[in-house]
Structure 1
Amino acid sequence: MSQQPTLTVIPLTTEEILGVGELLYRCTGMIFGENKRYYIERRITERMRRTGIATVPAYLGLVRSHVGEREAFINAFTINETYFYREEHQLAALSQSLLPDIVRNRRPGDLVRIWSMPCSSGEEAYSIAIWLLENWQLVDAYNIEIVGSDIDTAALGRAREGQFTQRSLARLPPALRDAYFEPEHGHHRRIIQDLRESVRFTHANIIDPASMTGIGKFDVILCRNVLIYFDDPARLAAANALYDSLNPGGYVCLGHSESMGRITDRFELARLADAIVYRRP
């Protein structure tokens, strides 16, 4: 088997690092600076090699002018750390507290919408589906719609394909792996077709309201471990987008190290037995 050639990383000047960081911030809200120099250099080098462009200014010019390369540029910098049943306590809160509250005034068959944003390669969105099938007795009484969204189009492609490694599946009990996944093939297991069809994946950028047009309103949003990569203005933009995407009385779940109270006072804090969540009044 032939080995891939070692990537020779192009050293960037301080000005070039700043240029990459500014463009990435405008596109995504994420903060990348001198403290992540090697991370930036590796990814820019890879994109320059693939596009055949020799200088950083020329490459950034391509990103600004070409939608396809801007998409590849964003994909190169997104961080897709995820796995099934991540922050399981929030899934417990979903079935034990949030959804029972949401459906109190709804009739059987009514629509209940849940949004995983960002969803990365799909593990967290599919986790919601599996958890509800296993843990919420009323799952079949309502029309549950689960939507997964992400800024990374490559990750969305993997989510739709539904192929997962043992690392992604490590926290799932073996019985659930056997019930909801096809037999292992090439060190991967594919989630069964019924579940692939039960989750809809769509592209969205949480700091760009135009990209979320048509997605609609949700009853519960799981937006975990993305605000930690933003500065204060980007966090506020994201919080406002989450608020606008919730039905009145809807809930948003953040990552364990994130707090909506430090960003905006538009949400009510709800302390549940299993989790701290935020409610749109």
Structure 2
Amino acid sequence: MPELVISDADFLRFRDHFYRKTGIHFEPGKRYYVDKRLQERMKALGYESFRDYFNHLRFDRDQELQALTNLMTVNETYFFREVYQLHCLVNSLMDEVAARKQPGERIRIWSMPCSSGEEPYSIAMMLLEEWANLSNWDVEILASDIDTAALDKARQGRYEQRAVHSVPTHYLQRYFTPDFNAGRKQYQLKDDIRDSVGFTRVNLNLPAEVRQMGRMDIIFCRNLLIYFDELSRRQAAERLYEVLRPGGFICLGHSESMSRISPLFRARKFPDALVYQK
């Protein structure tokens, strides 16, 4: 097969299409990264011209878009990343949310994008170990991502050493089972933790999919909005605001600031972290 050429016009055409579908905006500096993944899909499907592949992408009823999205999204993460926010969750946020609830009401936490599951499972372990009032409340942890391959891995709950390097030793012993696969040491999450998180695919760029998640008390949306442009970030903030219950909280990544995105939230400084409140 001859070299698959993607012109400047092709790149811009694809970039605009992908942006409309996902809200993810690729700067010119990402050109090499994008071209390589487009070429990978073109080769896999046997297309020799970008035009033919792009027509397939547009009219394939989203199956090809999903396959390409799985390639384009970055899923590098690990357990207990930015752990100070998890301390804020158990030391401050959960008690404040519970104080607004009636006995028997459910507390709902949403992790998105959840990638391969490290974040929502970290939340579950932290609540079990550190929140003294957990037994008094029905807590539901939901997790979503646009990448279906990442969600499949999250449901399996099997991780390499690099993913668990920040897990406290007693957590590792209590919630994981060591396993050797092809000579590599891996860690399998035990079923009780895997069963504590519900995973589903959600595209934050589609309001109907966001609304289907229902009302939330706490949202972890870390290191996603940095991939959006200004308009998409503002629209995403509005959608998250809509599903948060009054007084609900949203946690962003350390390099993200809701104050620069939307006036809908107010910053709250807790001893462990800065978060944003509806």
Please classify the TM superposition score into its range, dividing by the shorter chain length. Answer: over 0.9
Superposed, which structure 2 residues align to 1:200-219 within 5 Å?
A: 200-219=198-217
Question: What CA deviation, in whole Å up to 9, does each residue of 1:138-178 have, x standing for no partner?
Answer: 11211010000111111111111111111110100222112
**Residue of structure 1 equivalent to 2:79:** 84
Higher mean C-alpha deviation, range 25-34 or range 134-143: 25-34
Higher mean C-alpha deviation, range 103-112 or range 195-204: 103-112
Q: What is the total number of aligned residue pairs between the two structures?
A: 274
CA distance in 1, matches of 2:223, 2:2: 31
Runs of 4 or more, structure 1, over 4 Å off, are: none
Does the Cα contact within 8 Å between 2:211 and 2:243 map onto a contact in 1?
A: no
**Residue of structure 1 equivalent to 2:45:** 51
Superposed, which structure 2 residues align to 1:1-281 within 5 Å?
A: 10-66=4-60, 67-186=62-181, 187-280=185-278
CA distance in 2, matches of 1:91, 1:56: 45
Per the TM alignment, residue 267 of structure 1 is displaced from its structure 2 partner at its CA by: 0.8
Report the TM-score when normalising by structure 2: 0.95
Three-state SS of the structure 2 residue aligned to 1:182 is strand
Does the Cα contact within 8 Å between 2:5 and 2:49 map onto a contact in 1?
A: no
CA distance in 1, matches of 2:27, 2:7: 12
Gaps of 5+ in 2: none
Per the TM alignment, residue 11 of structure 1 is displaced from its structure 2 partner at its CA by: 4.0
Three-state SS of the structure 2 residue aligned to 1:264 is coil
Question: What CA deviation, in whole Å up to 9, does each residue of 1:35-75 have, x standing for no partner?
Answer: 11211121111111111112112112111111211111111
- Describe the shift of the 1:171–1:9 C-alpha distance in structure 2 as closer, same or farther (beyond 3 A): farther
Does the Cα contact within 8 Å between 1:112 and 1:145 map onto a contact in 2?
A: yes
Report the TM-score when normalising by structure 1: 0.94
Per the TM alignment, residue 107 of structure 1 is displaced from its structure 2 partner at its CA by: 4.3
Does the Cα contact within 8 Å between 1:9 and 1:42 map onto a contact in 2?
A: no
Report % sequence identity. 43
Does the Cα contact within 8 Å between 1:112 and 1:219 map onto a contact in 2?
A: yes
Does the Cα contact within 8 Å between 1:118 and 1:151 map onto a contact in 2?
A: yes
Question: What CA deviation, in whole Å up to 9, does each residue of 1:162-217 have, x standing for no partner?
Answer: 11111110100222112101222313211111111110001111121122242101
CA distance in 1, matches of 2:32, 2:220: 31
CA distance in 2, matches of 1:132, 1:139: 7
